[in-house]
A and B are shown apart, each in its own frame.
Chain A
Amino acid sequence: MRSALRLFALLLAVAVLPAAGLAAVRPSEVLPDPALEARARALSANLRCMVCQNQSIDDSDSELAHDLRVLVRERLTAGDSDAQVVDYIVSRYGEFVLLKPRFSLRNAALWGTPAVILLVGGLYLVFARGRRHAAAALSAEERAALDRILERRTGPPA
């Protein structure tokens, strides 16, 4: 584990290589029921390895991640629903364990930003376009002046 942290600190020294670790799930953990195992994998991908830098327990080879993977599988085997498993883990480790934060007031700005920007940007475009077009339309006087000019042009040569 310490090596994983140190590695990450060192990786920061270059530019963009993300957190390293050896691949995670061990053969001994795999459940015999493929449907249950698939659920376990899906759940694991959303749970953070608490001692790692931005790794899910599905990706991390740390002991803690191993324990959590086993815990998830135990609960699933005991008949818990996906939501129950997640609730149980959050009750023990706090919301920090969720890689996808819950929809809550505290996270409103996080979840809301994309929608708000898209909406405000879209409305601005519609609104600003309307305004620009109003400004671009000719007034009655301009229209009359234009008509005079055009008439003169199309009329017989003087």
Chain B
Amino acid sequence: MVEIGHFALVLAFALALVQSLVPLVGAVRGDARLMAVSGPVAVAGFAFTALAFAVLVMAYVRSDFSVQNVWENSHSLKPMLYKITGTWGNHEGSMLLWVLILTFFGALIAAFGSNLPLSLKANVIAVQGWIGAAFLLFILLTSNPFARIDPAPLEGQDLNPILQDIGLAVHPPLLYLGYVGFSVSFSFAVAALIGGRIDAAWARWVRPWTLAAWVFLTGGIAMGSYWAYYELGWGGFWFWDPVENASFMPWLAGTALLHSAIVMEKRSALKIWTLLLAILTFSLSLLGTFLVRSGVLTSVHAFATDPGRGVFILSILTLFIGGSLALFAWRAQTLTAGGLFQPISREGALVVNNLFLTTATATVLVGTLYPLLLETLTGDKISVGAPFFNMTFAPLMVPLLMIVPFGPLLAWKRGDLAAVSQRLFAAFAAALLVVLGTMLFVDRASLLAALGAGLATWLVLGALTDLVLRSGWPSAPARTAMRRLAGLPRSVFGTAFAHLGLGLTVLGIVGVVAFQQEHILAMKPGESAAAGPFSVRFEAVEPFRGANFTESRARFSVFGAANQARGDIVSSKRFYPVRQMPTTEAGIRTFGFSQLYLSLGDETADGGVVVRIWWKPMVTLIWLGALVMMAGGAVSLSDRRLRVGAPKRRRVFAAAEKPV
């Protein structure tokens, strides 16, 4: 049974080799039959990878401990959901998921790419084939998930308890859909370099793929952040951990790519830059995969002593990044530069956006790699942690966020800054009021916190201003304005939502960073403690038995200022006997956008328990903002212009115009 999976994986590899070569040869020779191979072979490659993946999932579902991977990461008593998600909760399985998603995107291009020029489609699918072949070979040679053990053990070693959470079902697949989704933009870029042609139509084909990948990556990062927040027990939402940075870099570069592709599509400008960004974004995804998979982050020495996997991925990395950049250097000059524009224009604003996002990406990149480089080169060990990133990243983000509302309001080609400023006056005045109000009426508000709240208001209202102005309100009557609003292109809503979501996320970050309250104390049942605007009373500790863990649950009652009951919070400590690991399950109760967060520490000698209580104002906006950003991306994806077939209609239209 399991060997079928292994066999399917080998077949998928063989198909990937065919996919890498045959369409490419076809494109070079202009042979339509060879090029036409690309579609079916990509779909078949996906089918076989999916079969291999399904076989592995089945092995987990059936707790087949003769498979080493299952034995190492599963247990027969584990709840079914975690048996399934445990498939990708380990190195081998997650690499298989990575390749599955890669081949999935390859198959999608084959299925939805019927409107692409044949040679472009063949080249794009061939490049996808190269990536697929490299990673399939990596799995087969160094990380085979189907390896057997003989004799088969009776019981498995269980999954790391931290990972036994719904987060594992959502976070890695979303993240990989984002990471790997950028491979499509990459393949399009490399195909354009091979073919030597790039135009506005190219940007129109690439943009929806980039947008989709960006939506998934946004979701993956936000989900990971919330998971860490509630699972790790001290309520942080972002740690600037190298593993987080590995996913954040492609996001920053991908965001830049999204914006530069707009300029390319609308104005035919920034072609070469967009191409380079497409290559860099996926290169950063590959780098992230290398950082996480090779173990180089844990220690440079661990990497040096067991280099098998690391060196393999490093070779893939070098081959693809080096190769694509060399191709870029060789071919980019042949591409023609596009339209001109004044510095004060929509294009100009998007260029500034790109400058800041690229610098931010480079900052995170250097911060993440510098300790590794320094240790490798000189042997000196330094640490680069959250304080460094906060200090360098924030000053880069503030000016960028300040110009965000201007971008969508500026005209293409030549904008009028004075007129746009005038239109944004209301949003600016409101933001100023928020700053003053925060300073005057909120306890413990620093100037920085007030300015942060003002910046968030500016972003939110700036995004709404764009919609209001386009509807013509208030000069047009409300009914006309509503009709106009409904008739606006979806991409306009997409932009507004995405920027509005960004503002909400900023507001959440400001709220929790500046106004969080923390209380650390030892409590015994019956005792009460302050908790932000509330107070909590420790009621009792109750034992509980889960399927594969034991738990002691501490129950707290929440009371408002006038001593009215506001519900219960249960915070617990678990123990997983198979792995001999304790975990804490934080108790969280949401009030509006804010949360009360309770986490248990050690028992004290006199029979109490250490309780950490946080009041986190506005904290949920951090993730709700990300959801709004995703919604913006999704709305924009549904825009008529990006729908499948739209470019074709335009071509037909252009052809009809020609004889005139």
Contacts and interface: CB of A to CB of B under 8 A. Distances in A.
Interface of A: 3, 7-27, 30, 45-46, 48, 53-54, 56, 59, 61, 94-101, 106-107, 109-111, 113-114, 117-118, 121-122, 125, 129, 132-133, 136
Nearest to A16: B224
B362 A113 contact: yes
A114 B392 contact: yes
Given A14-B94, A17-B227, A25 B382 contact: no
21 contacts: A7-B581, A11-B160, A13-B89, A13-B94, A15-B176, A15-B292, A16-B247, A21-B233, A23-B234, A23-B599, A24-B234, A27-B520, A53-B241, A54-B383, A56-B385, A56-B386, A61-B601, A100-B387, A101-B383, A107-B370, A117-B358
Given A20-B232, A22-B584, A30-B520, A132 B340 contact: yes
A16 B370 CA distance: 20
Main secondary structure of the interface of B (DSSP, over half): helix
A122 B601 contact: no
The interface size bin for chain B is 35 or more
B244 interface: yes
Nearest to B93: A13
A101 B388 contact: yes
Contacts of B172: 14-15
**Most chain A beta-carbon contacts within 10 A, residue among B176, B220, B386, B584:** B386
Interface string B213-228: 0000000110010011
B246 to A, nearest CB: 7
B612 A23 contact: yes
Contacts of B163: 10-11, 13-14, 17
B396 A118 contact: yes
Contacts of A113: 362-363, 366
B610 A26 contact: yes
Contacts of A97: 383
B343 interface: yes
A96 B601 contact: no
B374 interface: yes
Contacts of A13: 89-91, 94, 160, 163
Contacts, number: 186
A71 to B, nearest CB: 18
A107 to B, nearest CB: 7
B239 A109 contact: no
Contacts of A121: 355, 358-359
Contacts of A129: 343
A25 B236 CA distance: 14
Nearest to A126: B343
A94 B383 CA distance: 11
Interface of B: 88-91, 94, 160, 162-163, 167-168, 171-172, 175-176, 220-221, 224, 227-228, 231-236, 239-244, 246-247, 292, 295, 297-298, 337, 340, 343, 351, 355-356, 358-360, 362-363, 366-367, 370, 374, 378, 380-388, 391-392, 396, 520-522, 581, 584, 599, 601-602, 604, 610, 612
Contacts of B601: 22-23, 26, 61
A148 B182 CA distance: 52
Contact of B162 (A10, A30, A59): A10
A60 B380 CA distance: 24
Given A20-B162, A113-B362, A53 B382 contact: no
Contacts of A11: 160, 162-163, 243
B99 to A, nearest CB: 15
A6 to B, nearest CB: 9
**Most chain B beta-carbon contacts within 10 A, residue among A48, A101, A132:** A101
Nearest to B388: A100
Contact of A27 (B232, B363, B374, B522): B522
A46 B385 CA distance: 8
A54 B522 CA distance: 28
A120 to B, nearest CB: 10
A2 B380 CA distance: 24
Contacts of A48: 383, 385
B351 A125 contact: yes
A130 to B, nearest CB: 10
B385 A118 contact: no
Given A99-B383, A114-B360, 9 more contacts: A16-B221, A17-B163, A26-B610, A54-B385, A56-B386, A96-B383, A100-B387, A101-B388, A118-B359
A99 B387 contact: yes
B150 to A, nearest CB: 25
Contacts of A9: 295, 298
B611 to A, nearest CB: 9
A98 B396 CA distance: 23
A13 B292 CA distance: 8
A100 B371 CA distance: 12
Given A100-B388, A110-B366, A117-B359, A23 B233 contact: yes
A10 B520 CA distance: 29
Contacts of B231: 17, 20
B228 A17 contact: yes
B374 to A, nearest CB: 7
